[in-house]
Each structure stands twice: as structure tokens, then as C-alpha cells.
Structure 1
Amino acid sequence: MKHEKALHDAATMDGLPPRERAWAMLSIGIGVGMSSLDTAIANTALPAIAQQLHATPAASVWIVNVYQLAMVATLLPFAALSELVGYRRMCLIGVALFTIASLGCALSVSLPMLVTARLLQGLGASALMSVNGALLRLIYPAKIRGRGFGTNALVVAVGFALGPSLASTILAFWSWPWLFAVNVPFGIVAVLLGRRVLPQTVARSGRYDYLAALFNMGAFGLLILALGDATHLARASTTLLEFAAAALLFLLLLKREAGQQAPMLPTDLFRNPLFALSSLTAVCTFATQSLAFVSLPFYFETSLGRSPVETGFLMTPWPVLVGVMAPIAGRLSDRYSPGLLGGIGLLALAGGMLSLFLMPLDPSIFAIGWRMALCGVGFGFFQAPNLKAIMGSAPAHRSGGASGIVATSRLTGQALGAALVALCLSISTHGASWALVLGSVFAALASAASFSRLLVSRRAV
């Protein structure tokens, strides 16, 4: 009870003073920006890395996959551990591990070395992202907390927007190890700064459930592997075995944590309709984002005959408009319902995705640009209000678990979207176009889930 009261007081106080708040956001922003940037950079530079390491394209995909698998599998275990060691300490451990792993990536001379370093990078990013929302809840006072979530969404959007351009620039002048080496000085600054300015939290007494953590990592890891194998039309026996093993591990995890007040897989939080609907909104929306960002390069280059350079520029309006809208939506979420803001934004996203599918056969740059911009505006209107809704609907002493669900929802949605693109491409020559239709459907479902929060809120009142 003392722990719950301490965290409640910390989460409902007036946050940090403005100057300390700015420094704390800088520390977190550097870490979040590096993890977002590295996702985009690795995707862009994958062909160059594979060529220089003499790796096959199929084998080099693990440079990207192992990073995502490490994050998805360990987010909730790290979130649970943060309740015992403190959010600040978990954040600093994550940034430090990410920085050391980045140096390991830069020094890698073979594909196995690079994949191992990327695994450690994913673990570091997971530790950081597992407490990102919880720390934001402590840094900002309640009355302007949406502003903080908007700033965080802006940093993520900038990371994704700059990733392809930065990767191309670095590769034009230097070799691929510099893609990872640039993280090292920034990571050192983030750790040193974070030690001085990030808020302390009272750690909960108790023992960490290592067996539950293993069940969780195995369940989520196998689920993502099974999705990938299923959509790449792998052997049915292998895929079914992976799905069955994931289901068994989820059942073992639920059985082990039955009756616990703070389970690692926070099923207790999903009993709150606002939390459940906000999480569902996030999964569907990030599935839409992934359906777009994975399929559009194929659509632009294969269907429309654009060059890779042109494709990079055509993709830019989406993340740029997300960056523009995120702070605005964050501020609006301090005055208006996240369900309303998210619902409106996601309707715009659904319309934007459908308009991309309905483009003429030879669209102009402007015709593509305004459609991408509409998608970016809609996505930007969703992100910060939804993050605020998830964190605000969880008790203060469960901020770690809620923060873990925020990141897990994002990564699960992205993995689902990428898997569906692979399925569309494998069964149809127009797979990229049909992926856009699926993205529009997911955005419409997300909009419905967001608007339904208005009904739940009224009933609660």
C-alpha cells in the first residue's frame, strides 16, 4: 500500500519544474529517438550491409527481425521488472545497453556478430520503451500531460522521417558501421543527463517471477515467428507447431499469474473498457501504418514505376505531417476526449489509405503527396491522445504495466501489418494495392473503437 500511495502521489503531483522537465524530456527523447531512428536506418541500409558482409538477402533480414523480436518478447517482462527496480533505473539501463550494443554493431565484422549486437540493441530499446509512458506520466503535471505525450510522438515521428535520408547520407560518404556508431555519443549524453534529471520512483517490494518472464518471452516470440511463417507460406506443419506452442505458453502464463494483483501480462488492466478499447485502437492503427509503409515502396516502384530515390521522397509527407500534428493533438487532448480526437483522425487515415488505392494509373507527385499528407494528419491526430488515454485509464501504481502495453500494442500491430503485406504479395500480383485496402479497413476499425470510448465514458459518468 505504501508503494501504491507513493506512486499515486508522484503521478498526480505537478510533475517536474519546467526547467527540469525540459532536461528530462531531452534525456528520454534522445533514447526514444535513437531507437526509432535505428529501426528506419536498418531497413534502408539492409542491402548495403548484406553486400559488405557477404550475406544473402534472406539471411540479412535477421538484422531487422532479431531487433523486433527482442523488443516484442521482452517489453512486458521489463515493464514488470521496472516496478521492482524503479522506472528511472530501467530507463538508464536500457539506454546504456542500447549504446553499448550500438558500438558492438559498428565493430561487427560478420553477420552473426551484427545479429547478436542487434539482439542486444533490441533488448536495450525494449527496456527503455517499457517505461517511456510511465516516466512521461511522472514528468508532466496532469493538466498538461497530453502536451508531453505529443512531444514524445513528435520525437518518434522525426526519427522515422529522418531515418531513410540519414542512412542514405551516411552511406554516401562513409561505410555502414557509422550508421550505428553515431548513436554512441548521444547515448552517453542521455545516460549522464538522465542520472541527474529523471524522477525517482519508489520500487515495489516483492520477487520477480522469472518463470512467468520466460513464458511471456516464448509466447510473444513464437507468435511473431508464426505470423511471419504463415504469411510467407512456410510449411503448414511448422507454422501450426509455432502457433500451438505460443498458445500453450500463453495458457501457462495466464494460469501462473491467476489471482495476482500485478500480473506480468496485465489482464487486470483490460477489465477497464477504456484501457482495452485504447489498446485495441493502437493495435489496429499501427497495423495500418505497417501495411502502408511496407507495401507502398512496392506500389510506387512496381506499379507506378518510380525510382527508389523518388519513393523515399514520396514517403516523406506522412511522417512529416505526423510530426506537425502530434504536438497539436497532444495539446488538444488536454481539453477534449481522446476518443473523439482519435476517432476523427483515424477516419482521415482510413480515407487517406483508400484514396491511395483509388489513385489514377499515372498520378502526379501532388496527387500522391496530398494523400500521404492526409494519412499523416490522421495518424498524428491519433497517437498522443491515445497514449494519454491508455496511461490515464490505468492506476498510478500500474504505470509500468500500462507503459509495457503501449509499446507491445504498437509492435504487435506493426508485426501484424507487415505479415499481412507479405501475405498479399505472395498470393496476388496486385498485393501492394490490396494491402492498402486492408490498411483502410484496419483504420476504420480503429476509428470505431476510438469513438466507442465516448459511450464508455458517458456510462462511467
Structure 2
Amino acid sequence: MAQPLQPPTPIDGLPTPERWHAMAVIIMGIAVAVLDGTIVNLALPGIAQELNASASEAIWVVNAYQIAVLVVMLPLASLGDLVGYRRVYLVGMAVFTLSSLAATFANSLGTLIAARALQGLGAAGIMSVNAALVRLTYPSAQLGRGMAINSMVVATSSVAGPSVAAAILSVASWPWLFALNVPLGILVLVLGYRSLPFNRVAAAAGHRLSVVDVVLNVLMFSLIFLGADRLGVRDPTGQGGQSGAWAILLAGLAVGFVYVRRQRTQAVPLFPIDLLRIPVFALSMGTSVAAFAAQMLAYIALPFLLLGAYGRSHIEAGLLITAWPLAIVVMAPIAGRLIGKYPDGLLGGIGLAMMAAGLALLAALPSNPANADIVWRMALCGLGFGLFQSPNNHTIVTSPPAHRSGAASGMLGTARLTGQTLGAVMLAAIFSVWSAHGDGRGPTLALVLAACCAGLAGVCSLLRLKTPAPGHATHGAGG
């Protein structure tokens, strides 16, 4: 495919104020894409009632979005390396905006699910090249700050969905959850066309996008997601549902085996096993998956613990949990300034140790804790997560060569979604054995498992201290 014309911009990042204009577009796009992954959860009962659907059917309003994002993230990232990150981003935002309009006027569950799937495809276009655009926007000496801002927006958006939804639903009906995306999407498209940077490094020789590889990628991720999702749900009819879930999961793993073997013969693989051969990149991916699994375990388990075992109201529980994302907001700029002064692996290891300690302390709370005891533990988790995320993302984005920035960006998003899915499935499995309600045993065990996942992530991060970074990582954002 033809490469976009080289723009008349500096090699190493954009100058100010162009940098701030581009970053504003990047932030708005990633915020709305991540937010829409969870913003619908609170409205599901109302959607099911209005569209005459069951709860199990309505959950596909969420699943359709998540699966669509996951299965095309890597193909779109690879496409960004070929035709330009800004082009993939802008087309993704256009699809996201149009599908949001379709979701607004959906009058049946099937129509809404289809619109949400298209919305997920558009969001994947935004997420897949998000970090690659940050790398192009900031000079290498300041890339840590750019990644810190980006990481803070992703982290806060991923947990802000219920709060934003509650605010909108308090004054409007559920279609407005999607309608508000339309003017915002148009604004991002107009500003992005003017300010987003072009690719500055040509795609690698032999790089192409194969239809067979794309199909195998879609099949692998969708089957594994569906199988894992069904395994986490107790089957009231017996073992049949579990057997079916295992069959789907094993089919996904079989497709994955064929897919990865095929990728090993590719000069520039769609599933970037060439990047996973870079030890520091592979360890950073493991760190990210385990950390996001820990975060998802905690985020879903904590409301059950606060509402059920501790008797807090919904408002009280929401305010207590808010201490976590607020702490991320506080720590993110600090972490950004520390990048480059201290090794990313060390910063991530310290942050994840803090997070693991906070999760363990939350699990060890007494039966009637004071709000202050809950808040400082939440804050410790958030501070630790904020210290880990930006340095880890910095390593993922900068350790590959510049012409593979899209693939690295896609893997960053894939690791986050994989970790979150894994955390949700592990929690569902725990709740299928130990009740989510009552004495809080199920949520407490989930927090213990979350602390273990955070500890594992910390070990992966610290192992990077013994792993030299590849020489091309020092080339910075400009390549």
C-alpha cells in the first residue's frame, strides 16, 4: 500500500503549540473509546426492559463492543504501519461517530447490538494507533510525559463509565449515552484532520496485510473470549454449558496454534511475535496483562464487598471507590517526570508492590471498617497503579523500532483488554463457587487473587532490570 507523503514537521516530535493540539485530539478520542466500554453497564436493565429482552440477551450490548475491539485491534494497528496512523484513527473515529448515531435511534435489541459492534470496530481504530500517535507527537526526551498523560486518561476513563452513565441517566434516557458521542466525534474529526501527525518512517520491507491472517486473528480472539466468558458463568442446567464452553475455548486455542505457526513464517507478522522476541517487550506485556487482571478483579469485587458485607449505600460505595482513580490522577504526572531518571522496570516494580499491598490490606479489612481505613487502602492501590502504568507503556512503545510503532500500540491495547477479560473471567469463576453476597467471602478471595496478580506483574517488571533494552529503543519517537 502507498505510504502517505512525508509532512514538513520536525523528525523528533511536534513543536508547540501543534503538540498540544494533537494531544488534545488523542486524549478526547481515547477517552470516549475507553469510556464506551463500560458506560452502558448501568443502563442494561432499562435497555432490556424497553427492548423486551432478557438480561442474558442484553449483556451482548456490552460483549459486542468488547469483542469487536479485541478482534481487530492488531489488524488495524498493522494497517496503521502501512497507510498511516492518523488515517486509521480518523476513519475509526468516523465509524465510531456514525455507529453512535445508529445506536441512538436503535428500536430493537438486534439493531442496538449491531450498532455497538460497529462502534467497537471504530473504537479499535482509535485504540490501535493511540500510543503510536503519542510517540509521533512528543520528542523522545519528553515522551514519558506524553505517555503519562495518555495513561492517566485511559485509567480514569476505564473506571469512570458508571459515574458518567449515572450523571447522564439522572437527567435523560439511555439513548443519550450514545447521542453525546456524535458532536464530540465530529469535533475530534475536524481537529484531528488539522493536527494529527503523519507517519515519518516507511513500513518494513515485506510488510503486507493478509486476509487469511486477519480471519485467523478474528477467529482466535473471538473464540477464546467467548469460551472464557462462558466458563466463568455457572450453568444452571448441568455440565452441558461448561462442555460447550470448553469446546469453544479449545477451538480458539487450536486456531491460535495454526495462526501463530503461520506468523512465524511472515517477514512482518500481524500477531507481532517478532516484538515478543524482544525480552524487555515480552516482560512488559506480561506485566500489563497481570496488572490489568488485578485491577479488573478488584473493580468488580469491591462494590459487592462494600454494598453487601459492609452495608454501604450505593453513593457511599461510589465515593469510596473514587479514591482509586483520583490517586492515579495524582500519581500519573509524577510518574511521567520520573521516566528517564529511573529504569521503567524499577518504577513499575515499586508501583505494583504498592498496589499488591493495598489489595492485600483491602482483603484484610475487619468486618466493620471505618471509611478512612477503606479510602487510604484504595488510594494506595491507585498510587501504585499510576506509578506502574506510564513507565510500562513507555517501554512497550519505545522498545520496538519506529516502523513497528503501530504493532506495539496495538499490543498495548490488546494486553489491557486481555488482562481485563482474564480478570472478569477469574472473578466469575470465584463467584460461581463462593457467593458474591452475604459475608463477603467471594469478594475477599477475589481481592487476594488480585493481590497475587499484582505481585506477579511486579516480578515481571523487576525482571526487566536484568534485561538490556534493544539498541533501537534509544532512537526515540522519531525513529
| TM-score normalised by length of structure 2 | 0.91
How many Å separate the matches in 1 of 2:34 and 2:77?
A: 19
Distance 1:94 1:116 in 2: 16
1:452 to 453, 460, 463: 463
Q: Which residue of 1 aligns with 2:288?
A: 282
Q: How does 1:89-100 map to 2 (within 5 A)?
A: 89-100=87-98
Residue deviations 1:289-318, cap 9 Å, x none? Answer: 100111111111122122222222121111
Q: Do 1:102 and 1:117's aligned partners in 2 also have CA atoms closer than 8 Å?
A: yes
Change (3 A) 1:459 1:396: closer
Partner deviation per Cα, 1:197-243 (whole Å, 9 max, x = no partner): 11112663754201100000100111111111112145232122112
Cα deviation for residue 326 of structure 1 reads 1.3
Q: Is the 8 A contact 2:208 2:268 kept in 1?
A: no
Does the CA contact (< 8 Å) of 2:35 and 2:160 recur in 1?
yes
Matching of residues 220-239 of structure 1 within 5 Å: 220-234=221-235, 235-239=241-245
Deviation at 1:51, TM superposition (A): 2.6
- Does structure 2 conserve the Cα–Cα contact (< 8 Å) formed by 1:150 and 1:326? yes
Q: Where does 1:222-371 land on structure 2 (aligned, <5 Å)?
A: 222-234=223-235, 235-371=241-377
Report 1:373-412 matches (<5 A).
Answer: 373-412=379-418
1:40 paired residue number = 38
Counterparts in 2 of 1:21-36, with a 5 A limit? 21-36=19-34
> Which of 408, 421, 424 lines up with 1:418 in the alignment?
424
Q: Is the 8 A contact 2:104 2:178 kept in 1?
A: yes
Deviates more, 1:32-41 or 1:348-357: 32-41
* SS of residue matched to 1:40: coil
CA distance in 2, matches of 1:450, 1:79: 25
Shift, 1:458, TM fit? 8.6
Q: Distance in 1 between matches of 2:269 and 2:180?
A: 38
Aligned to 2:448: 437
Higher helix share: 1
Aligned to 1:210: 211
**Separation in 1, partners of 2:400, 2:180:** 37
Q: Contact 1:144 / 1:334 at 8 angstroms: preserved in 2?
A: no
**Separation in structure 1 between the aligned mates of residue 18 and residue 279 of structure 2, nearest angstrom:** 35
**Which amino acid counterpart does residue 309 of structure 1 have in structure 2?**
I
Q: Hey, what's the Cα distance between the residues in 2 that align with 1:318 and 1:410?
A: 18
Segment of structure 1 superposing worse, 197-206 or 436-445: 197-206
| Contact residue 333 and residue 385 of structure 1 kept, 8 A | yes
Query: Could you say what secondary structure the match of 2:268 adopts?
Result: coil
Q: What is the match of residue 54 of structure 2?
A: 56
Q: Provide the secondary structure at the position in 2 that maps to 1:268.
A: helix
Q: Distance in 2 between matches of 1:253 and 1:400?
A: 20
Moved more, 243-252 or 156-165: 156-165
User: What are structure 1's unaligned runs of at least 5 residues?
Assistant: none
Q: In the alignment, is the contact (CA less than 8 A) between 2:89 and 2:125 conserved in 1?
A: yes
> Which deviates further from its counterpart, 405-414 or 300-309?
300-309
> Over the residues paired in the alignment, what is the CA RMSD in angstroms?
2.1
- 8 Å Cα contact 1:160-1:319 kept in structure 2: no
Instruction: Give the distance between the partners of 2:94 and 2:273, measured in 1 at CA.
Output: 31
Aligned residue pair count: 456
Write out aligned runs for 1:110-189 (5 A): 110-189=108-187
Q: Which amino acid aligns with 1:378?
A: G
Task: Tell me which moved more, 50-59 or 158-167.
Answer: 158-167
Alignment partner of 2:341: what SS?
Answer: coil
Alpha-carbon distance between aligned partners in 2 of 1:107 and 1:323, rounded to the nearest angstrom: 35
CA change 1:385–1:369 in 2 (3 A) is same
Which deviations, in whole Å up to 9, do the C-alpha atoms of 1:347-398 show, x marking residues without a partner?
0000010011000101111111111111110111111111100111111111
Partners of 1:458 and 1:26 lie apart in 2 by: 30
Q: In 2, Cα distance between the equivalents of 1:218 and 1:77?
A: 13
Aligned residue number for residue 99 of structure 2? 101
Q: Distance in 2 between matches of 1:54 and 1:300?
A: 32
SS in 2 for 1:55: coil
Does the Cα contact within 8 Å between 1:62 and 1:115 map onto a contact in 2? yes
CA–CA separation in structure 2 for the residues paired with 1:319 and 1:411 = 18
Find the aligned partners of 2:340 and 2:19 in 1 and give their Cα distance: 18
The residue aligned with 2:81 is 83
Q: Are the equivalent residues in 1 in contact too, given 2:278–2:470 (CA < 8 A)?
A: no
Whole-angstrom CA distance in 1 between matches of 2:104 and 2:248: 33
Shift of 1:330: 1.5
Q: Distance in 2 between matches of 1:164 and 1:255?
A: 41
CA distance in 2, matches of 1:417, 1:109: 33
Q: 2:477 corresponds to which residue?
A: none
Match of 2:196 among 190, 195, 198: 198
CA distance in 2 between counterparts of 1:303 and 1:98 reads 40
8 Å Cα contact 2:81/2:406 also seen in 1: yes
In structure 2, give the amino acid aligned to 1:199. P
Structure 2 counterpart of 1:325, one-letter code: M
- Deviation digits for residues 398-427 of structure 1, max 9, x if unmatched? 111111110000000000000001001010
CA distance in 1, matches of 2:46, 2:380: 32
> How many angstroms does 1:459 deviate by?
11
> Aligned in 2, Cα 1:254/1:40: closer, same or farther, shift over 3 Å?
closer
Give the C-alpha shift of residue 257 in structure 1. Answer: 2.4
Q: What is the one-letter code of the residue matched to 2:405?
A: S
Shift of 1:247: 1.7
Q: What does the per-residue CA deviation read over 1:102-129, in whole Å, with 9 as the maximum and x for residues that have no partner?
A: 1111111121111111111111111111
Percent identity (aligned) = 45
Change (3 A) 1:247 1:158: closer
Q: CA deviation at 1:157?
A: 3.1
Q: Is 1:145–1:334's contact at 8 Å kept on the other side of the alignment? A: no
Secondary structure of the residue that 1:93 maps to in structure 2? helix
Q: Give the whole-Å Cα distance in 2 for the aligned partners of 1:273 and 1:156.
A: 25
